[in-house]
Every structure is written in C-alpha cells, then in structure tokens.
C-alpha cells in the first residue's frame, strides 16, 4: 500500500465511555489510526481490549449506555461522530458494512435469505424486487454457496454456520461498500471453514478494492489478512505498524508477549508456550501510568506513574509504539492517526 494513498477512514483520538451501575467504563481511549482504500488493517488484542467497541463506535452502533466523548471518525471527508442518525444510516447502508462473529445475531430468523438480502438492495440501491432477487442469487454464488437458487428461499436456520457466514458476507457486499468491518468473523467456525472464509474475504476485497478493518484475537489470522496492524491493550493502541514489521521486529512488550504465546513451527518439540501473567485491567479502574505495567516484564519505575503516548519510532510514523522503552518522536497531532505502511 502506498504511503501517499489518501485516507478513506481516519479515526482520531477516539474515546468511548459506557455508564454502568459501578461507574463510567472507558472502553476506548485515545485510539487513532487510518485506512486507505483497498487496505486491510487488523485490530488485534485480548478480549476486553476495546477492539469491538472501536468498530461499533465507527459504525455508530453503540449500546444505549455508550457514547463517544472525544475524537473524530472521518470517513470520506465527513465526521461520522457528528452526523445525524438518518445520514449515518445511509452511510452504513451504502458505504460501510459490518460482519459479526455470529451471523444469527444479524440475520433475521423469520425472513428468508433472499428476502433479507433483497431488502437492503431495494432500500439502498433502488432495485425492483425482481432485480434484487437476481442479484441475491449472483451474490450467493459469488460467496461460494452451492444451490444458490434454492438457498435464496431458505431460512437462516437451514444453513450451516459456515454457509450462514457466507450469506452474511453476501449481505455485506450487497451494496458494494467501500469499507467492511469484520469482527471476529471466523472465530465460531472450524479451522477448515475458517480458512475458506478468510480466503473468500481476501479475494473479494482484492477484487473490488474494498478496505477492511479486521478484528481478531488470533495472530494467525493477522498474518493471513493484514496489510497493517494495530495492537490494542486496555482500550488503547499500543503498537501500530505493517504486518511484516510486527512479526519480525515487534517493539512493545505486550506485542512481544502475544507473539511468544502462539506456537511456532520451528520451535523445538516440548517447548512450552509463554502465557502472559495476570489479566487485562478493569475498564472501571485503569491503572495509572502504563496500563500494561502490572504485567510487563520490562517495567521500570516511571511506568507505574507516567502514562506513555503513542510515539513514532521509525521514519515518518511508519512504526508507532506506546512504551517508555522507546524514545520516539511525537506524532503530529492530526496525523497521529496516520501510520502508513
Ligand atoms: Fe512495559 Fe513500561 Fe513499556 Fe509499559 S511503558 S510496556 S510497563 S516498559
């Protein structure tokens, strides 16, 4: 991906909070990144790191007790945070689509696959019912669903998990979005189906030049899908770089620990995987200083009291890290989101 490619999406200094009975939970804090057309950015981290809330914040789909309290989400030049709900709905229908982990949460169980895919196209593309049905069959074939002409009249429960996820992808593609946000879309599937779905998404994105934000906790999936990666921990991006640098030269101790916790083909037999001690801090009680300091093997005195910023450690912001071990240069204020490959 060219460093000169203009940003399709720029998330800048985003903060998302939830009101709970126990207080205010800050799920996303100072999150910045950008994405060019056709590029795939993986958001990776443990559960509770803020990946999914970041996606829901971009889509304007937060639960009633959640709100964005700071920052911008600039998509094709307009800030989605300040956009009225009616216009945001149009953006969601026409330009940005989301694929969830469990398609049954998005597919309506009482509508046939054909009806629910057609509905989107009739609403957003102005197709007639007949035109939409023909396009649904095309789309189902495109995502590899056999007997597409019959499946169009099936209800979601008649399909296997893998086929439902394919139908979800067809639904996401139905309005030819410029950005797809996929939140752990293969986690619930077995390994073979997972590989097929990943390949399908990659091929479709290459073919149509669709940008993707791919959310996962699985570094194998990252290696498979990403152009660039943002590693999240406790609501913040702690490292951001291209996928090759992330695997070859990780800098943040959390990224290094994550990489040590996955099996390597070249590791000697009997080698034990290194688990990361401790757990992700509570969103209601973030530690002062670096949020990783209680689990970090390289923690220093200042780490418990002083909060590191996301700083560029390589030329022109290509690699950014939030850690006192690196004497980085501050990223320019608005370009903090832009960490090109
Ligand atoms: Fe570890 Fe300190 Fe870096 Fe945090 S700032 S990751 S505690 S070395």
SS (H, E, C) 166-221: HHHHHHHHCCCCCEEEEECCCCCCCHHHHHHHHHHHHHHHHHHCCEEEEEECCHHH
Q: How far is the CA of 253 from the centre of ligand 1 (A)?
A: 7
List, for residues 300-332, the tens digit of each pLDDT value.
999 999 999 999 886 555 899 999 998 655 544
Sheet holding 320-321, edge to edge: 96-99, 179-183, 211-216, 40-44, 228-233, 236-242, 320-321, 311-312, 329-330
Q: How far is the CA of 296 from the centre of ligand 1 (A)?
A: 6
Question: Looking at the predicted structure, is the pLDDT value of residue 70 above 70?
Answer: yes
Sign of CA dihedral 328, 332, 334, 339: negative
Question: Looking at the predicted structure, is the pLDDT value of residue 338 above 50?
Answer: no
pLDDT band at 175; cut points 50, 70, 90 = confident
pLDDT band at 183; cut points 50, 70, 90 = very high
Question: Looking at the predicted structure, is the pLDDT value of residue 89 above 80?
Answer: yes
287: which DSSP letter?
A: P
- Distance, in Å, from the CA atom of 231 to the CA atom of 292, rounded to the nearest integer, reads 13
Q: How far is the CA of 319 from the centre of ligand 1 (A)?
A: 17
Q: Does domain 7-95+177-263+273-330 have CATH number 3.40.50.300?
A: yes
Q: How far is the CA of 289 from the centre of ligand 1 (A)?
A: 9
Q: Whose CA is nearest to atom 8 of ligand 1?
A: 299
Q: Which residues line ligand 1 (CB under 6 A)?
A: 252-253, 290, 292-293, 296, 298-300, 303, 308, 323-325
| Token pair in block for residue 284 | 């209601």
Buried b (16+ CB within 10 A) or exposed e, 16-52: bbbeeeeeebbbbbbbbbbbbbbbbbbbbbbebbbbb
Q: How far is the CA of 72 from the centre of ligand 1 (A)?
A: 27
Q: Give me the residue spans of the domains in the chain.
A: 7-95+177-263+273-330
List, for residues 45-57, the tens digit of each pLDDT value.
988 899 999 999 9
Question: Looking at the predicted structure, is the pLDDT value of residue 336 above 50?
Answer: no
Which ligand 1 atom minimizes the distance to the CA of 324? 5
Question: Looking at the predicted structure, is the pLDDT value of residue 280 above 90?
Answer: no
Buried b (16+ CB within 10 A) or exposed e, 321-333: bbbbbbebeebee
pTM of the model: 0.88
Q: How far is the CA of 321 from the centre of ligand 1 (A)?
A: 10
- Distance, in Å, from the CA atom of 326 to the CA atom of 115, rounded to the nearest integer, reads 54
Q: What are residue 108's phi and psi, to 5 degrees?
A: -80, 120
> What is the model's pLDDT at position 314?
67
Which ligand 1 atom minimizes the distance to the CA of 254? 6
Mutate to test the pocket of ligand 1, among 297, 308, 326 (most ligand atoms within 8 A of CB): 308
List, for residues 239-276, the tens digit of each pLDDT value.
999 999 999 999 999 999 999 887 665 656 666 656 78
Bridge partners, 99 (sequence order): 182
Considering only 19-23, 123-127, 285-289, which range has the smallest mean pLDDT? 123-127
Which ligand 1 atom minimizes the distance to the CA of 296? 1
Sign of CA dihedral 258, 263, 264, 270: positive
- Distance, in Å, from the CA atom of 43 to the CA atom of 145, rounded to the nearest integer, reads 28
């Amino acid at each position: 991906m060219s460093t000169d490619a203009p940003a399709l999406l720029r998330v800048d200094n985003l903060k998302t909070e939830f009101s709970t009975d126990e207080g205010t939970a800050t799920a996303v804090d100072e999150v910045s990144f950008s994405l060019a057309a056709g590029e795939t950015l993986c958001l990776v981290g443990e559960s509770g790191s803020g990946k999914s809330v970041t996606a829901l914040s971009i889509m304007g789909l937060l639960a009633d007790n959640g709100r964005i309290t700071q920052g911008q989400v600039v998509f094709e030049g307009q800030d989605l945070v300040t956009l009225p709900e009616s216009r945001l709905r149009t953006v969601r229908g026409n330009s940005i689509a989301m694929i969830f982990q469990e398609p049954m949460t998005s597919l309506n169980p009482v509508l046939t696959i054909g009806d629910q895919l057609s509905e989107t196209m009739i609403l957003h593309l102005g197709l007639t019912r007949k035109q939409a049905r023909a396009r649904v069959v095309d789309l189902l074939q495109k995502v590899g669903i056999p007997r597409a002409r019959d499946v169009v009249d099936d209800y979601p429960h008649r399909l296997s998990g893998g086929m439902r996820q394919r139908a979800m992808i067809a639904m996401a593609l139905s309005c030819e979005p410029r950005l797809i946000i996929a939140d752990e879309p293969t986690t619930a599937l077995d390994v073979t189906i997972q590989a097929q779905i990943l390949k399908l998404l990659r091929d479709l994105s290459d073919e149509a030049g669709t940008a993707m934000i791919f959310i996962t906790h699985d570094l194998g999936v990252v290696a498979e899908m990403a152009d660039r990666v943002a590693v999240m921990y406790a609501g913040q991006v702690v490292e951001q770089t291209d996928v090759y640098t992330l695997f070859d030269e990780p800098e943040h101790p959390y990224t290094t620990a994550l990489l040590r916790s996955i099996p390597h083909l070249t590791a000697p037999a009997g080698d034990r995987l290194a688990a990361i001690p401790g757990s992700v801090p509570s969103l209601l009680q973030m530690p002062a200083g670096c949020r990783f300091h209680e689990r970090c093997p390289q923690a220093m005195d200042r780490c418990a009291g002083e909060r590191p910023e996301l700083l560029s450690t390589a030329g022109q912001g290509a690699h950014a890290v939030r850690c006192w071990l690196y004497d980085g240069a501050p990223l320019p204020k608005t370009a903090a989101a832009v960490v090109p490959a």
